[in-house]
Amino acid sequence: MIIDSHQHFWKYDPVRDDWMDDSMAVIRKDFLPSDLKPIFEANGVDGCVAVQADQSEEETQFLLNLAINHDFIKGVVGWVDFLDANVEERLEYFASHNSIKGFRHIVQAEPDPNFMLREDFQSGIGCLSSFGFTYDILVYPHQLPAAIEMVRKFPNQKFVLDHIAKPEVSKGMDERWAQHINTLAEAPNVCCKLSGMVTETENFEWKETEFYPFMEAVLEAFGTDRILFGSDWPVCLVAGTYENVVSIVANFVQQLSPTEQQNIMGLNAVRFYNL
């Protein structure tokens, strides 16, 4: 079983989606389940988790509606305003939808490196576990210290790190990143996605072996029971094909036992997100 733990859908809006600069022109268009289903069939992927790309409840509802109509969307990671005093009410509302599994905030875009340590933000995070919701951590390497502090404050909350925290792959191993990854992994309630790596390369040019030291570091830190494969489709298309991103992880895990490979490529996502 292969479960893609991280992909997106959108109807392109040039104002809302202004983060797609000229280097990302290839993804400045709609990407919907009808585009992804044949790709999954060609690559033997059984299902996916659709993750928010826009910070609005309209986005969350958009993804939930897609999941209702497309069985291969096994779960949704949406967005709510964690800074809102009424966040618990909004979580209760979304809890009535079977497809919603967790939430995410685009912390990488926050100028404050300690955004996750804000009292109001953490008040929102503290509401997730009572509904059984997960939280996706989307950060750059310099924000990892705050992430470490946050996960320690919520030992009963399930967290997953997106895109291995986006190290600059083309520059080679960043020892500070590796140290922070090891420290983050000491918290047993945290998992990590092998995703979003091809877009963290210079000019989106790469060789597969460039990713191996980073994946080795994640494997050593998190072990085979807390790593999830994710494609980051369609964002990954700016730096390659869907087949490319599947192959990078699938080839890397060939060194592991069949059971360990199955865990990373799908079963860990099923368990983490309760799919």
Q: Which string of b and e fits 249-261 if b means at least 16 CB within 10 Å?
A: bbebbeeeeeebb
Instruction: State pLDDT tens for residues 210-225.
Output: 999 999 999 999 999 9
**What does the pLDDT read at residue 100?**
98
CA 211 to chain CA mean position, Å: 17
**What does the pLDDT read at residue 94?**
97
CA atoms of 101 and 77, how far apart (whole Å): 6
Burial of 83 (0-12, 13-18, 19+ CB in 10 A): middle
Hunting for tokens 């939930």 — which residue is that?
64
Instruction: State pLDDT tens for residues 144-168.
Output: 999 999 999 999 999 999 999 999 9
DSSP state of 211: G
- For the record, the structure tokens of 80 come out as 């709510």
Instruction: State pLDDT tens for residues 2-49.
Output: 999 999 999 999 999 999 999 999 999 999 999 999 999 999 999 999
CA atoms of 34 and 55, how far apart (whole Å): 23
pLDDT mean over 177-187? 98
Q: Where are the domains of the chain?
A: 3-273
Which overall architecture, per CATH, does domain 3-273 show?
A: Alpha-Beta Barrel (3.20)
Instruction: State pLDDT tens for residues 224-272.
Output: 999 999 999 999 999 999 999 999 999 999 999 999 999 999 999 999 9
pTM above 0.95, yes or no: yes
